[in-house]
Structure 1
Amino acid sequence: MIQRIQTVYIFLVLVFSGILPFVFPLWKNGNGDAYYFMENPFYTGLFALSATLSAVSILGYKKRQNQFVLNRLNMISNVILLGLFVFRLLSVSGEATQLVSEKGIGMFLPIVSIVSLVLANRAIKKDEDLVKSVDRLR
């Protein structure tokens, strides 16, 4: 069923990884210039991979195990994306003498995606356990 709660969570991931990165910058440089994800091919690829995995997972709602695996892969891609953001945050040098850059809300999009994917996988597991318990009664 497409109206399950895990579909709502996965749709949130699709929005957070496919639409909102175009709206919110990842950070602003010391000059006030916004830095969007499209300026780095790794960020672009990982956001696109996350959005694609979310869309495929929503469309594959009849196969819960495949949906579970796709969500796990999506979590891995979001953790890698978050790791790249943290690496960028920690490896910027020379900000003490220049204007300090601001972190944008776009840096937190992978965190929200990971939380939504965890909640979706928890709901999928609950559905799978319910189906197994009904099969035992037959």
Structure 2
Amino acid sequence: MIQRIQTVYLFLAAALNISVFFTPIYRHAVNDPAGWIGIGFAIFLTLAFLIAAAAIFLYQNRSLQIRIVKAGTYMQIVAIGFSAGILFSLGGFGTFLWQEVLSSGLIVLALMFYWLAGRSIKKDEELVKSMDRIR
């Protein structure tokens, strides 16, 4: 069912991953002299978005949905690593990089939504298994 809470979490994770493309940290990643940083950052953010969007529609197969969300969580962690690398290449965390730090916070927030979605899917799976035992 699409109206479950994990759908909301996955939608928010996908929306946050897309919104990162319009933030200063992505602009810095694209303008970095080492071109692979911007490309890698974009690839992992796009993969995390696509996985969250695909996992929304896998509600009938919860075990597959859990595995897909776990893979998306790993992609999100790699995207956090890229954003931390970009922040440190800009000079670290400071008051002059406030917008970039907030942009990285969006990625961390998306990771939190991935985690909440995985937890909710797991609770649903346990509930269904417990109801099967009662029958």
| TM bucket normalised to smaller | 0.7 to 0.9
One of 79, 82, 103 as aligned partner of 1:106: 103
> As a proportion of its length, which structure holds more strand?
1
Match of 1:84 in 2: 82
Rounded to whole Å, the distance in 2 between the matches of 1:101 and 1:120 is 31
Q: Tell me how many residue pairs correspond in the alignment.
A: 124
TM-score by length of 1: 0.80
Q: Greater CA radius of gyration, 1 or 2?
A: 1
Q: Any unmatched runs of 5+ in structure 2?
A: 32-37
Q: Say whether the 8 Å CA contact 1:75–1:117 is kept in structure 2.
A: yes
- The 4+ residue runs of structure 1 with deviation greater than 6 A are none
Match of 1:31 in 2: none
One of 71, 74, 79 as aligned partner of 1:73: 71
* Residues 92 and 23 (structure 1), Cα distance of their counterparts in 2 relative to 1, 3 Å cut: closer
Query: Is it true that 1:9 corresponds to 2:9 in the alignment?
Result: yes
Aligned residues: CA RMSD: 1.9
Q: Say whether the 8 Å CA contact 2:16–2:110 is kept in structure 1.
A: yes
TM-score by length of 2: 0.82
Q: Say whether the 8 Å CA contact 1:24–1:36 is kept in structure 2.
A: no
> As a proportion of its length, which structure holds more helix?
2
